[in-house]
């Protein structure tokens, strides 16, 4: 089994879509191994999104991700990283396939309700950012 990180972003929480999003994720065969609600400060968000440092959208992303609470989750499934990327759809909701989470709920490229790891290597790093091993249920 493979694991990936998902983050229900501040727009998801603000719009009260957490329950619907979790239900969708579980209906798509993912097992939630850990979950919490966090409020990232600027330093934490900059650390998490350091890979995007220097890109034009970086400051807006940090401002958005610190604008309210979010819900990081460790998800497990066979081929979890790619399966989850397929499940959530394109970052741009207007290009997201029908039936994906972003097609259903996202309102813009920036406010796209959810983050999903883009590789197994990044999934491991991202999971470790939010969850000590002791917090992940086997």
**Where do the domains of the chain lie, and which CATH numbers do they carry?**
2-135 (3.30.70.141)
Q: What amino acid positions are annotated as catalytic residues?
A: 115
List pLDDT tens digits, range 59-115: 999 999 999 999 999 999 999 999 999 999 999 999 999 999 999 999 998 899 999
* CA 95 – CA 60 distance, rounded (Å): 21
- Contact (Cβ atoms closer than 8 angstroms) between residue 116 and residue 4: yes
């Amino acid at each position: 089994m493979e694991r990936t990180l998902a983050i229900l972003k501040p727009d998801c929480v603000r719009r009260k879509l957490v329950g619907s999003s979790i239900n969708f994720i579980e209906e798509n065969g993912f097992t939630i191994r850990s979950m919490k609600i966090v409020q990232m400060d600027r330093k934490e968000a900059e650390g998490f999104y350091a890979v995007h440092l220097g890109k034009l959208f970086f400051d807006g992303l940090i401002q958005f991700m610190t604008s309210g609470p979010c819900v990081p989750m460790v998800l497990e499934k066979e081929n979890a990283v790619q399966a989850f990327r397929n499940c959530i759809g394109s970052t741009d909701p207007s290009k997201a396939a029908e039936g994906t989470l972003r097609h259903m709920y996202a309102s813009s490229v920036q406010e796209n309700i959810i983050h999903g790891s883009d590789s197994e290597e990044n999934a491991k790093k991202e999971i470790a950012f939010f969850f000590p091993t002791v917090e992940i249920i086997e």
